[in-house]
Structure 1
Amino acid sequence: MAAHIGRRLRKGATSGVVMAAAVAALAASQAPEMTPPATDNTGGDQAIGAGDTTSPSGHGSVTGDSPYYTDLPPLNPPNLPGASTKLPLTTGPAEAGIPASVYSAYKRAELSIRSTDPGCNLPWQLLAGIGKVESGQARGGRVDANGTASPPILGPALNGNGFALITDTDGGAYDGDTKLDRAVGPMQFIPSTWATWGQDANSDGKKDPNNIYDAAQAAGLYLCANDRNLALKADLDQAILSYNRSREYLNTVLSWVAFYERGTHQIPDGTGVLPVGRSDNGTRGNGSHPTAPLPTVPTTPTPGTQKPKPPAENRPGTVKPPTVPTKPPVTPPVTPPALPAVAKVARLAIVANEKPTTTTGSAFTGLPRVAALDASGKPVPGVSIRFEIVGATDTRFGAGGTTATVTTGSSGLATSPALRAGEKTGTFTVRATVVGRTLRAADFAATVTERRADTLTRLAGDPLSATTGTSFAQKVQVKATDKGALAPGVRVTAVIVTSKTSTEESADGPSFKRADGTTVRTVTLVTGTDGLLTFESGDLLAGDKAGTYYVRLTAPGGGTTFIDLTVGAPATTNPDPTPTPEPTPTPSGSTTPEATSSPSASPSA
Structure 2
Amino acid sequence: MAPDIGRRLRRGATSGAVVAAAVAALAASQAPEAIQPTTDNAGGDRAVGTGEGTPPSGEGSATGDSPYYTELPPLNTPPKQPGVPGTGTGPLVVTGPAEAGIPATVLSAYKRAEQSVRSTAPGCNLPWQLLAGIGKVESGQASGGRVDANGTTFRPILGPALNGVGFANISDTDDGAYDGDRVHDRAVGPMQFIPSTWATWGQDANGDGKKDPNNIYDAAQAAGLYLCANDRNLALKADLDRAILSYNRSTEYLNTVLSWFEYYKRGTHQVPDGTGVLPVDRSDNRRPGGLPGTTTPTPSVPVSPSPTSPAPKPGSQDPKPGTPGTTKPPTVPTEPTPVPKPPVTSPADKVAALAVAGNRQLTAITDSDFTGVPRAAALDASGKPVAKVNVRFEIVGATDTRFAGGKSAVTATTTSSGIASSPALRAGEKAGTFTIRATVVGRTLGAAEFAVSVTERQADTLVRVGEDPLSAATGTAFAQELQVKATDKGALAPGVLVTAEIVASKTDPKPATEGPTFKDASRTATFTTATNGTLTLKAGDLLAGDKAETYFLKLTAPGGGTLFVELKVTGSDSTPDPTPEPSEPGTPEASPSPSASPSPSSSPSSSATAPTASPSATVSKA
The change in CA–CA distance for 1:225 and 1:295 in structure 2 (over 3 A counts) is closer
Q: C-alpha distance in 2, partners of 1:414/1:362?
A: 23
The change in CA–CA distance for 1:171 and 1:188 in structure 2 (over 3 A counts) is farther
Structure 1 equivalent of residue 580 of structure 2: 575
In structure 1, list runs of 5 or more residues that go unmatched: 1-39, 49-80, 84-91, 101-139, 144-148, 158-167, 176-181, 204-211, 265-277, 297-310, 597-605
Amino acid at match of 1:575: P
Q: C-alpha distance in 2, partners of 1:546/1:508?
A: 10
Q: 1:174 aligns with which of 79, 91, 97?
A: 91
Structure 2 equivalent of residue 521 of structure 1: 523
Shift of 1:562: 0.1
Q: Is the contact between residue 153 and residue 185 of structure 1 (CA under 8 Å) also seen in structure 2? A: no
Summarize the alignment of residues 300-449 of structure 1 with structure 2, pairs less than 5 Å apart: 317-319=324-326, 321=328, 339-449=345-455
Amino acid at match of 1:232: P
Q: Is the contact between residue 386 and residue 405 of structure 1 (CA under 8 Å) also seen in structure 2? A: yes
The change in CA–CA distance for 1:390 and 1:591 in structure 2 (over 3 A counts) is farther
Percent sequence identity over matched residues?
A: 44
Structure 2 equivalent of residue 142 of structure 1: 78
Q: C-alpha distance in 2, partners of 1:480/1:498?
A: 24
Q: C-alpha distance in 2, partners of 1:400/1:171?
A: 50
Shift of 1:315: 11
The change in CA–CA distance for 1:263 and 1:152 in structure 2 (over 3 A counts) is farther
Q: Is the contact between residue 153 and residue 186 of structure 1 (CA under 8 Å) also seen in structure 2? A: no
Q: C-alpha distance in 1, partners of 2:478/2:337?
A: 97
Q: Is the contact between residue 226 and residue 337 of structure 1 (CA under 8 Å) also seen in structure 2? A: no
Shift of 1:184: 5.9
Shift of 1:232: 2.4
SS in structure 2 of the partner of residue 436 of structure 1: coil
Q: Is the contact between residue 461 and residue 474 of structure 1 (CA under 8 Å) also seen in structure 2? A: no
Structure 1 equivalent of residue 515 of structure 2: 509
Shift of 1:456: 1.1
Shift of 1:564: 1.1
Single out whichever of 468-477 and 479-488 deviates more from structure 2: 468-477
Q: 1:492 aligns with which of 482, 495, 498?
A: 498
Q: 2:556 aligns with which of 554, 557, 565?
A: 554
Q: C-alpha distance in 2, partners of 1:295/1:222?
A: 33
TM-score (normalised: structure 1): 0.50
Summarize the alignment of residues 586-605 of structure 1 with structure 2, pairs less than 5 Å apart: none
The change in CA–CA distance for 1:333 and 1:386 in structure 2 (over 3 A counts) is same
SS in structure 2 of the partner of residue 343 of structure 1: helix
The change in CA–CA distance for 1:199 and 1:376 in structure 2 (over 3 A counts) is farther
Give a deviation string over 1:185-212, Cα, whole Å, max 9, x none. 667999xx99x98998999xxxxxxxx9
Amino acid at match of 1:359: I
1:483 maps to 2:419: no
Q: C-alpha distance in 1, partners of 2:351/2:97?
A: 27
Shift of 1:523: 1.7
The change in CA–CA distance for 1:315 and 1:422 in structure 2 (over 3 A counts) is closer
Summarize the alignment of residues 235-254 of structure 1 with structure 2, pairs less than 5 Å apart: none
The change in CA–CA distance for 1:498 and 1:388 in structure 2 (over 3 A counts) is same
Structure 1 equivalent of residue 308 of structure 2: 294
Q: Is the contact between residue 43 and residue 413 of structure 2 (CA under 8 Å) also seen in structure 1? A: no
Q: C-alpha distance in 1, partners of 2:493/2:408?
A: 28
Q: Is the contact between residue 466 and residue 472 of structure 1 (CA under 8 Å) also seen in structure 2? A: yes
Summarize the alignment of residues 27-426 of structure 1 with structure 2, pairs less than 5 Å apart: 96-99=71-74, 140-143=76-79, 149=80, 151-152=81-82, 171-174=88-91, 223=147, 225-229=149-153, 232=156, 256-259=278-281, 292-294=306-308, 317-319=324-326, 321=328, 339-426=345-432
- Higher CA-based Rg: 1
Structure 2 equivalent of residue 27 of structure 1: none
The change in CA–CA distance for 1:470 and 1:318 in structure 2 (over 3 A counts) is closer
Shift of 1:433: 1.9
The change in CA–CA distance for 1:409 and 1:458 in structure 2 (over 3 A counts) is same
Amino acid at match of 1:258: V
Q: Is the contact between residue 497 and residue 550 of structure 1 (CA under 8 Å) also seen in structure 2? A: yes
Q: C-alpha distance in 1, partners of 2:468/2:405?
A: 46
Amino acid at match of 1:381: A
Give a deviation string over 1:249-304, Cα, whole Å, max 9, x none. 97xx67x332477799xxxxxxxxxxxxx99xxxx897xxxx744379xxxxxxxx
1:565 maps to 2:574: no
The change in CA–CA distance for 1:533 and 1:329 in structure 2 (over 3 A counts) is closer
Q: Is the contact between residue 463 and residue 486 of structure 2 (CA under 8 Å) also seen in structure 1? A: yes
The change in CA–CA distance for 1:413 and 1:592 in structure 2 (over 3 A counts) is farther
Shift of 1:376: 0.8
The change in CA–CA distance for 1:524 and 1:322 in structure 2 (over 3 A counts) is closer
Q: Is the contact between residue 356 and residue 447 of structure 1 (CA under 8 Å) also seen in structure 2? A: yes
Q: Is the contact between residue 461 and residue 477 of structure 1 (CA under 8 Å) also seen in structure 2? A: no
Shift of 1:462: 4.9
Q: C-alpha distance in 2, partners of 1:323/1:521?
A: 94
Q: C-alpha distance in 1, partners of 2:439/2:522?
A: 50
SS in structure 2 of the partner of residue 525 of structure 1: strand
SS in structure 2 of the partner of residue 400 of structure 1: coil
The change in CA–CA distance for 1:538 and 1:315 in structure 2 (over 3 A counts) is closer
Q: C-alpha distance in 2, partners of 1:223/1:593?
A: 149
Amino acid at match of 2:78: R
TM-score (normalised: structure 2): 0.49
Q: C-alpha distance in 2, partners of 1:474/1:323?
A: 100
Structure 1 equivalent of residue 539 of structure 2: 537
SS in structure 2 of the partner of residue 445 of structure 1: strand
SS in structure 2 of the partner of residue 342 of structure 1: helix
Structure 2 equivalent of residue 137 of structure 1: none
Q: Is the contact between residue 77 and residue 97 of structure 2 (CA under 8 Å) also seen in structure 1? A: no
Amino acid at match of 1:519: A
Give a deviation string over 1:111-159, Cα, whole Å, max 9, x none. xxxxxxxxxxxxxxxxxxxxxxxxxxxxx4013xxxxx1x4475xx9xx
SS in structure 2 of the partner of residue 458 of structure 1: strand
Amino acid at match of 1:392: A
Q: C-alpha distance in 1, partners of 2:384/2:406?
A: 34
Q: Is the contact between residue 436 and residue 452 of structure 2 (CA under 8 Å) also seen in structure 1? A: yes
Q: C-alpha distance in 2, partners of 1:152/1:551?
A: 78
The change in CA–CA distance for 1:356 and 1:329 in structure 2 (over 3 A counts) is closer
Q: Is the contact between residue 583 and residue 591 of structure 1 (CA under 8 Å) also seen in structure 2? A: no
SS in structure 1 of the partner of residue 73 of structure 2: strand
Shift of 1:407: 1.9
1:456 maps to 2:478: no
